[in-house]
Amino acid sequence: MNMDKTREKDVNKTMEMDIANVLLTGEAIKRRIAELGEEITQDYQGSELLVLGILKGAVLFMADLIREIKLPLTFDFMAVSSYGASTYSSGVVRILKDVERSVEGVHILIVEDIVDTGLTLKYLKENLSRRNPESVKVVTLLDKPGRRKVDMIPDYNGFAIPDEFVVGYGLDFNQKFRNLPYIGVLKPEAYES
Ligand code: 5GP
**Any domain includes 16:** no
**Any domain includes 188:** no
pLDDT tens-digit map of 145-184? 998 999 999 999 999 999 999 999 999 999 999 999 999 9
> Could you give the CA distance from residue 42 to residue 179 in angstroms, rounded to a whole number?
30
| 134 exposure class (CB count in 10 Å sphere: 0-12, 13-18, 19+) | middle
What are the catalytic residues? 116
Give the ligand 1 atom nearest the CA of 120.
Answer: 2
Question: In the predicted model, what is the mean pLDDT of residues 11-31?
Answer: 90
Which residue's C-alpha comes closest to atom 16 of ligand 1? 116
**Any domain includes 1:** no
State which amino acid sits at residue 67.
Answer: R
Give the ligand 1 atom nearest the CA of 118.
Answer: 3
Residue 52 has pLDDT above 80, yes or no: yes
**Any domain includes 4:** no
**Any domain includes 170:** no
Q: What is the pLDDT of residue 10?
A: 57
Residue 140 has pLDDT above 60, yes or no: yes
Q: What is the pLDDT of residue 126?
A: 95
Q: Which domain holds residue 66?
A: 26-163
Mean pLDDT of the chain: 90
| 9 exposure class (CB count in 10 Å sphere: 0-12, 13-18, 19+) | exposed
**Any domain includes 124:** yes
Query: Residue 132 sits in a domain of what CATH number?
Result: 3.40.50.2020
Q: What is the number of structural domains in the chain?
A: 1
CA dihedral angle for residue 87, residue 90, residue 94, residue 99, rounded to 10 degrees: 120
State which amino acid sits at residue 117.
Answer: T
Q: Give the residue from 178, 186, 142, 166 showing the smallest Cα distance to 28.
A: 142
**Any domain includes 109:** yes
